[in-house]
Structure 1
Amino acid sequence: MSASDDPDYEVGYRKPPKHSQFKKGKSGNPKGRLKGARGFKTDLRAELSERVTISENGRQRTLTKQRLLVKQLAASAVKGDVRAISKLADLAVSLLGPEDEAQQSVNTLSTEDDAILQSYLRRNSKGDDHE
């Protein structure tokens, strides 16, 4: 006895009416993505990982397109291109993370604290010599 024949079949949460359920063998999204179709992210990753041969300082080198783009962006930034500098800085911060100034300030002692620490270390090192 199937659920559709069952008079006790209860419609409710996660139990849709039989007439609105997906039919057996029929896709729920017939116009959806085709099998094997690649997305933009996959295409971009494949394109950037392709290798190209360039001539650098009179020598032939093979680099990925991604590496070549980074080299060209860095070269433009070094030449003073403000937009390239800005983009390179944004990429560096987003991918490598900002310098943690808070952590640096925790590790840096004030002059007063440093003097106290030095005094303590001098006193303790003198005590070690006597033992």
Structure 2
Amino acid sequence: MPAEEKAPAESNDEYSVGRGKPPKHTQFKKGDGRKRPGRPKGSKNIATLVLEAAHAQVDAIIDGKKRKISKKQSAAIRLANAGAMGDPKLLLKFIDLIGEIEARAEAARPSEYPFSDADKKVIREVYKRLRPYDERDSD
């Protein structure tokens, strides 16, 4: 066998085949064109697409002036106007929507007095126990 015609295994002494290291000739080549699994990079799900559409700007004439507003703001204005004009279906929808928004805001707002009398009593007792001895009075 001439020196130029080496066997493929002998030509690359640095690369050893083993667990997790397949032979070079069986590995995927760059740009092999096969389908890759999963969602393509950069593609968006339906929620993202809907939110982008809702945030898109449109031209609207408000009080005789041309303004740019979002589509969701435009939809809210149209719903309010349709309800005010007397459309019973849209009026009920608008009132339900307002009630839902106010209920969420109320739930998010902390109550004025979050502790009951029993809670306050427990907090006082814990505070008494945690004070240094020299600051305690004859409780």
Q: TM-score, normalised by structure 2?
A: 0.45
Give 1 or 2 for the bigger CA radius of gyration.
2
